[in-house]
Amino acid sequence: MVMDSPLMEPLLDPNGQAPAVAATPDEHGVAAGDESSTVVGNGMDADGSRRTGGASAHAEENDSDDVKGDEMSASMQRRLDESSAVEDEEEVGDDAEADEMASRMERRLAALPGRPHESEPFTIFRVAGPMRDRNRHLYEPQMVSLGPFHRGAGRHLDAMEAHKWRYLRDLLARGGGGGGATLAAYARAARAMEPRARRRYAEPVPLPPAEFAEMLLLDGCFVVEFFLKGEEKADDALIDASWAMQNVYNDLFLLENQLPFFVLERFYDIATGGLGRDHLVTNVLVKYLTVDMGAAQDAETARPPDGEIHHLLHLYYHWFLPPEDRPGSGAGGPAGAGKSEDEAFEEWMSKPMDERIPWQLPSASELKDAGVTFRAKKSPRSLVDVTFDRRGGVLEIPAVESYTNHAIFANLLAYEQSRGRWELQRLVSYVLLMASVVDARRDVEVLQRAGVFVKGDEETATFYAHLGELCPPPEFVENCYADLFRDVREHCGRSWNRHRAVLVHDYFSNPWTSMSAAAAVFLLVLTVVQTVYTVLPYYNPS
């Protein structure tokens, strides 16, 4: 008898139907069970009663679960195998792409000029920093572009491109002395100099070699012919127009607008039949580069620097600030000259803080009140030849007669800052000193009365203040006036010097006050003498 039991419920599917179960054969291979082994789909036997054999059905379900588990395991294994194969393919692909990338980078490394750990010979830089953005007119050419940095930079430079071709034609017409200066000779020279000239620029130049060489030829021949026309005083609309001449002159000495000097030297050599660098420098360029230099060298005494000349601005800087044989009194010497960077740094660190980082001086009027006397220096070696006499408290500054070329001064400052960390920054030091001393109209008047400024006005103070903004902060400057700053501060710190300055200012500033003071002193002496002679008989009657 079959009983309805809760234990049979799990055999039912969710619809309340039992799955078909095959009869389990006995030991003789005959199916065991009722007379009819047919199972009705609704879970009842043929006679209408509920079927038996629940245990057999449960066992078969377990077997089915095992089969499904095996199938699932096999499927998962296949997926894992496929994923592993894909990862292997990706690793192989990554290795191939990495090899290709390394090969491409190696080709670019092999194309780099120079050797590892070898400093590049950069001599032509682009001025950087926020001050450049606010003073573009000081660093960018206004009329003619030379070199790659400003090539095709604007319409205002296009007109001079036609003049370059005209100057090239005039230079070729000279014949090179011996008649062999053909355009092909210049072209061969330009192609030979192209790799070396390209390495002089601190930024990559995207021009192809042939186009770069053509730029060198056209710009270099223009500069050479420009100076040759000026030497010969030839009639030329560009040179005869004073405004054009001044603009071209300024553009020739912009740091960003330079050609390597060996390019100019080679083209000049071809054009003149081999006169050489010394003739170019001492007979041609010196007539232009020593104009409007103020206290710099005269044209007769100017000499080219030893070693390589980098470009025209480098030559101008050398003549504007010639090297000194010995450090001036109180001017400091080149701390890093002839020494390694480590030695220069150790020497710099060994100095007291106020000598390592000389800050600004008081204004000229304040220094005068503290007992400092200003005087125009006689026969200065350069514009920066500033000295201080500690005994007399005299600060001697070279006279500034007519130098007001803001653009060239700014580019000289920029060039000086591009020479290296431990190079003595003499021009930057001078500008910082003058910017601190000349602070207002009253300071300009003090220096004008001393003969330092031939012409003094409010624009003079503005001029030095603006130049001071183009300099780095004082703590980052290798200042050549460290000893001078220290001596001036010590002098101003003595109270006697200040009292003496007040006495001179109040009683001896002009002849009338001097006469009044002398009369007062004379009367005081007479009064003392009279008092002595009056009192003396009282104590010594005899």
pLDDT at 396 (0 to 100):
95
Question: What is the average pLDDT score of the chain?
Answer: 76
Asked whether residue 533 falls in the same domain as residue 419, the answer is no
Q: Are residues 174 and 308 in the same domain?
A: yes
Tokens 């290709």, located at residue: 100
Looking at the chain, how many residues does it have? 542
74-115 confidence digits (pLDDT tens):
776 666 666 665 555 555 557 888 999 999 999 988 888 778
Q: What is the C-alpha separation between 308 and 262, in angstroms, rounded?
A: 9
For residues 220 and 264, is the Cβ–Cβ distance under 8 A?
yes
Q: Cα separation of 141 and 254, whole Å?
A: 7
Q: Which two tokens stand for residue 137?
A: 């007119």
Whether 264 and 288 have beta carbons less than 8 Å apart is answered as no
Residue 377: inside a domain: yes
Same-domain pairing of 206 and 284: yes
Q: How many domains, the chain? A: 4
Compute the average pLDDT of residues 155-179. 85
Contact between 338 and 332 under an 8 Å Cβ cutoff? The reply is no
Q: How many CB atoms lie within 10 A of CB 275?
A: 14
Is the whole model's pTM more than 0.75, yes or no?
no
**84 is a domain residue:** no
Q: Quick one: average pLDDT of 308-327?
A: 81
* Residue 45 within any structural domain of the chain: yes
Q: How far is CA 416 from the centre of its chain?
A: 11
pLDDT at position 355: 56
Confirm whether 429 is domain-assigned.
Answer: yes
pLDDT at 275: 85
In a shared domain, residues 224 and 310: yes
Q: Residue 358 in contact with residue 479, Cβ under 8 Å?
A: yes
Where is the domain boundary, 35, 52, 69?
Answer: 52
Residue 2 in this model has a pLDDT that exceeds 50: no
In a domain, 394, yes or no: yes
Q: Which two tokens stand for residue 530?
A: 């009279």
Domain extent, residue 378, equals: 362-505
Asked if residue 282 and residue 135 are part of one domain, the reply reads yes
197-242 per-position pLDDT tens digit:
999 999 999 999 999 999 999 999 999 999 998 888 878 877 777 7
Do the domain assignments include residue 86? no
Report whether 18 contacts 11 (CB < 8 A): yes
- Say yes or no: 493 and 414 in one domain: yes
> Are 140 and 10 contained in the same domain?
no
Amino acid identity of 13? D
Q: Are residues 498 and 415 in the same domain?
A: yes
- What DSSP letter does each residue of 477-535 carry, written as one string? S--TTHHHHHHHHHHHH-HHHHHHHHHHHHHSSSHHHHHHHHHHHHHHHHHHHHHHHHH
Same domain for 158 and 300, yes or no, is yes
Is residue 521 domain-resident?
yes
CB 31 within 8 A of CB 23: yes
In a domain, 88, yes or no: no
Interatomic CA distance for residues 219 and 214, integer angstroms: 8
Interior angle at CA 509, CA 505 and CA 510, nearest 5: 160
- Cβ burial 456-472 (10 Å sphere, 16+ → b, else e): beeebbebbbbbbebbe
Q: Could you read off the pLDDT of 418-432 as tens digits, one per residue?
A: 887 667 889 999 999
In angstroms, rounded to a whole number, what is the distance separating the alpha carbons of residues 522 and 130? 64
206 and 312 both lie in a single domain: yes
Dist CA 149 CA 125 (whole Å): 9
- One domain, residues 196 and 267: yes
DSSP track, 259-292: --HHHHHHHHHHHHTS--HHHIIIIIIHHHHTTT
End-to-end CA distance of the chain: 176
Strand order across the 373-377 sheet: 373-377, 394-398, 387-389
Bridge-based pairing of strands 394-398 and 373-377 is parallel
Q: Are residues 441 and 399 in the same domain?
A: yes
Q: Kindly report, residue by residue over 48-66, the tens digit of the pLDDT.
A: 444 444 445 445 555 565 6
* pLDDT of 116 higher than 60: yes
